[in-house]
Amino acid sequence: MSDSPATRRSLEVALGERSYPIHIGPGLIGDPAWLTPHLAGRQVMIVTNETVAPHYLARLREGLPGELTVHELILPDGEATKTLASVTRIWDALLEAGFNRRCTLVALGGGVIGDMTGFAAACYQRGVAFVQVPTTLLAQVDSSVGGKTGVNHPLGKNMIGAFWQPRAVLIDTDTLRTLPERELSAGLAEVIKYGLIRDAAFLDWLEAELPALRRLEPAALTRAIERSCELKAEIVAADETEQGVRALLNLGHTFGHAIEAHQGYGNWLHGEAIGAGMAMAAELSRRLGWLSAAEVERTATILAAAGLPLAAPADMGVDDFLALMRLDKKNVDDRLRLILLETLGRAVIHDKTPRAQLEELLASFPRR
Amino acid sequence: MSDSPATRRSLEVALGERSYPIHIGPGLIGDPAWLTPHLAGRQVMIVTNETVAPHYLARLREGLPGELTVHELILPDGEATKTLASVTRIWDALLEAGFNRRCTLVALGGGVIGDMTGFAAACYQRGVAFVQVPTTLLAQVDSSVGGKTGVNHPLGKNMIGAFWQPRAVLIDTDTLRTLPERELSAGLAEVIKYGLIRDAAFLDWLEAELPALRRLEPAALTRAIERSCELKAEIVAADETEQGVRALLNLGHTFGHAIEAHQGYGNWLHGEAIGAGMAMAAELSRRLGWLSAAEVERTATILAAAGLPLAAPADMGVDDFLALMRLDKKNVDDRLRLILLETLGRAVIHDKTPRAQLEELLASFPRR
């Protein structure tokens, strides 16, 4: 890949005084021109994990001006580490290093690192600056954009957290070259989601380009990431704290979160669970009379082309789903709210699914 | 005291869409007309402590409509409990009770309960509603107003937290009848602070009315609380997240936080440490040529009339102060910023105190 500036793209997440840029392209990590303008103060803490550090930590540090105080914290990898205890390690490290309010946390890693580092920044001395440097496709198109931060609790995913916007998101597409294929597929689930909920033309484009994306062809990758970030930024700008339209981003998530919680976080990748959840949401949308059988089939074909599972876990019964769906944050006063599809490219918030119809879907949906 | 509505006062903290009312008067706890309008959803968690619960918890519950789901959590009392572990207990209780995003946390107690409950609300499912029902004078005039929430860390006070505004602050002046005299004095330290930093006329009034306040005379109490809240609300509205003028509220706090940290949180009450800290700030202001000796003497007389200490702890040396002042949140890039007095009634942010002058003050200031 070239690191010519011509291959780089930038967009803005418009949130008034909390607006920030997203820069996308190869070779960003280690280029001082991209990170340095977004640092507050002179103290920088890079938070990363044991998988990512060997590939990118040294390069990131090399790109920082020598007059800065730079510390690093390398956490274990995996969704199971997304806990308050890990965030406490970040706070301890900041305090032991004497970091003040004018410091910057840099999240170098996937969604787990980004969510924990963002939450640590949100609550350290009541809020300090942070920059996202996402290194997985999932984090690049989803979790690094929009300001949702937090950790899991034994009783639910992302139950403890804050809305806290980064100063900038720097997406170095070169990092996808070290990403396992399974994680690439998981990231594509969220890319497909944007097409399903909001952009039928993008879905058409994806249908044709999925093979190129899985081969990591640079032009296709940049386009897919850019359009995904644009669509997410539009929705976040319209509804920063998820009072309304932002809930559409949760297509497949009520089912998907139940799968993740049941299987143990990390055994199914988030994107895999969301992929299966979107297939379930599409099928329920058909049963409610909105999608045709052909559209459900097309959705399944696209998800399969991305390498995603189309079935729920074999050991998950109807009651498992129902119990785990109760605590979902999208539930308001115990009515079940689902994100469903009116058509491919248009999602709706629906809270009138008859309980019996939901249970029929859960009982009959394929297992693997 | 009468609970006639005529004795109640209300003001507004103007923060745009985060604006909220402060209601002040006797008999508010247990009056459904005051709390119920500020509840979100149907799930309510009252968080209080072992000291306050026997006095006011039942009365608060009785005032809530029967159709609500009301849970309670009674924590141990004291500054030493203001930890992430206590906040985790609140989160655990919320999740075990199946609370969703449309719930309300009610903080019934002093500043510790308010700060922890507010922080729990700020981060539960990325932010839920909360109402402050402060039961100490300190919490009524200071910590319950302005949205600062958080917990202490072994390496510093209030190091982990968030800015999170309550839906309402309900100040029942009757609660001061069960407050220990020492805590009343500690609360008066913050009342005096408002006069010192911003309102010379209020300081004059206080000088005359301190005996009446210490006798809990209702008219004086209501006036002192109302004016304190007004002054704090003005400053908070001008600077919600403490980028500038809000720092003036920290008069005496850099010294006071050092005293608290050195003595162990809770051994000196916060207001007592702030009282001594304001005496130190006044004396430093004289050494810088701003206050006259007579003004420093008048400040000391007012603090003494409130029952506050005028000396620093006997076992705290210059180096203890300097070491503990380094991590104060008001330090930006390691320059020491202090809040000092240009005159009685006008505070300034000052970052040019010569290090030698500061050390002289710390060495010569009276100990006890």
pLDDT, one tens digit per residue, over A39-52 is 999 999 999 999 99
**Mean per-residue pLDDT, A83-104:** 97
Cβ atoms A255, A309 nearer than 8 A: no
Q: What pLDDT is attached to residue B124?
A: 98
**Inter-chain contact B153–A91, Cβ cutoff 8 Å?**
yes
Matching residue, tokens 């690094």: A144
Round to whole Å and give the CA distance between A276 and A298.
14
Residue B335 pLDDT level (bands cut at 50, 70, 90): low
pLDDT given for residue A250 in this prediction: 92
Classify residue A344 as left (phi > 0), alpha (psi -120 to 50) or beta: beta
Q: Which residues of A touch B100 (CB under 8 A)?
A: 327, 329, 331-334
Which residue would you say has higher pLDDT here, A222 or B334?
A: A222
A contacts of B159 (beta carbons < 8 Å)? 91, 95, 124-125
Average pLDDT, rounded, for chain B: 92
Residues 6+ apart with CB under 8 A from B110: B49, B52, B134, B135, B136, B138, B139, B143, B183
* Highest mean predicted confidence (pLDDT) among A32-41, B21-30, B48-57: B48-57
Q: End-to-end CA distance of chain A: give it in Å, rounded.
A: 39
What is residue B30's predicted lDDT score, i.e. its pLDDT? 85
Going by C-alpha positions, the residue among A244, A119, A260, A132 that lies closest to residue A189 is: A260
pLDDT tens digits along B134-165 = 999 999 999 888 899 999 999 888 999 999 99
**CA B239/CA B233 separation, integer angstroms:** 10
Q: Is a pLDDT exceeding 50 seen at residue B1?
A: no
Is A250 a known active-site residue? Answer: yes
Q: Is A205 on the interface with B (CB under 8 A)?
A: no
Check residue B157 and give its pLDDT. Answer: 83
Collect all residues of chain B within an 8 Å Cβ-Cβ radius of residue A333. 41-42, 100, 102
- Classify the C-alpha dihedral A297-A303-A304-A310 as positive or negative: negative
The stretch B101-129 carries a mean pLDDT of: 97
Report, as an integer, the average pLDDT of B5-19: 84
Summarize the annotated binding site of A as residue ranges.
77-82, 111-115, 135-136, 148, 157, 175-178, 190, 253, 270
Q: Is B153 annotated as catalytic?
A: no
What is the CB-side half-sphere exposure of residue A119 using CA atoms within 13 A? 32
* Chain A from 94 to 123: CB within 8 A of any B CB: 95-96, 98, 100-102, 119, 122-123
On the question of pLDDT at A327 being above 70, the answer is: no
Q: Within a 10 A sphere around the Cβ of B68, how many other Cβ atoms?
A: 14
| Alpha-carbon gap: A27 to the closest alpha carbon of chain B (Å) | 31
pLDDT at A5: 45
- What integer pLDDT is reported at residue B261 of this predicted model? 85
DSSP states of B166-194:
-SEEEEEGGGGGGS-HHHHHHHHHHHHHH
Which is more confidently placed, B1 or A286? A286
- pLDDT value of residue A1: 40
* Residue-averaged pLDDT of chain A: 92
Domains and CATH numbers, chain B: 5-178 (3.40.50.1970), 181-364 (1.20.1090.10)
Check residue B331 and give its pLDDT: 53
Predicted local distance difference test score (pLDDT) of residue A2: 42
Q: Binning pLDDT at 50, 70 and 90, where does residue A228 land?
A: very high
Neighbour count for residue B209 (Cβ, 10 Å): 18
Chain B residue numbers touching A101 (CB-CB < 8 A) = 329, 332
Give the pLDDT band (50/70/90) at residue B5.
very low
Q: Which chain B residues touch A247 with a CB distance below 8 Å?
A: none
User: Cβ contacts of residue A323 below 8 Å, gap of 6+?
Assistant: none
A62 token code pair:
């090399």
As a whole number, mean pLDDT of residues A286-312 equals: 97
Q: How large is the average pLDDT for residues A278-293?
A: 97
Q: Catalytic residue at B350? A: no
Instruction: Please check whether residue A91 touches B, CB under 8 A.
Output: yes
The band of A335, judged by pLDDT with boundaries at 50, 70 and 90, is low
Q: Tell whether the model's pLDDT for residue B195 goes beyond 80.
A: yes
- Interface subset of B 136-155, CB within 8 angstroms of A: 148-150, 153, 155
Q: Model confidence over B313-331: pLDDT tens digits?
A: 999 999 999 888 875 545 5
The pLDDT assigned to A265 comes to 66
For chain A, give the number of residues. Answer: 368
A-chain residue closest to B335, CA distance? A100
State the nearest Cα–Cα gap between A261 and chain B, in angstroms. 14
The β-bridge relationship of strands A346-350 and A338-343 is: antiparallel
Helix (H, G, I), strand (E, B) or coil at A106: strand
User: How large is the average pLDDT for residues B84-108?
Assistant: 97
pLDDT of residue B143: 87
Please give the pLDDT value at position A368: 87
8 A C-beta contact, residue B344 and residue B295: yes
- B127 → chain A, closest CA residue: A162
| Residue B23 among the catalytic residues | no
Q: Which of A160, A16, A240 is nearest to B160 (CA)?
A: A160
**CA–CA separation, A98 and B189 (whole Å):** 30
Check if A126 is active-site. yes
Average pLDDT over residues B254-281: 91
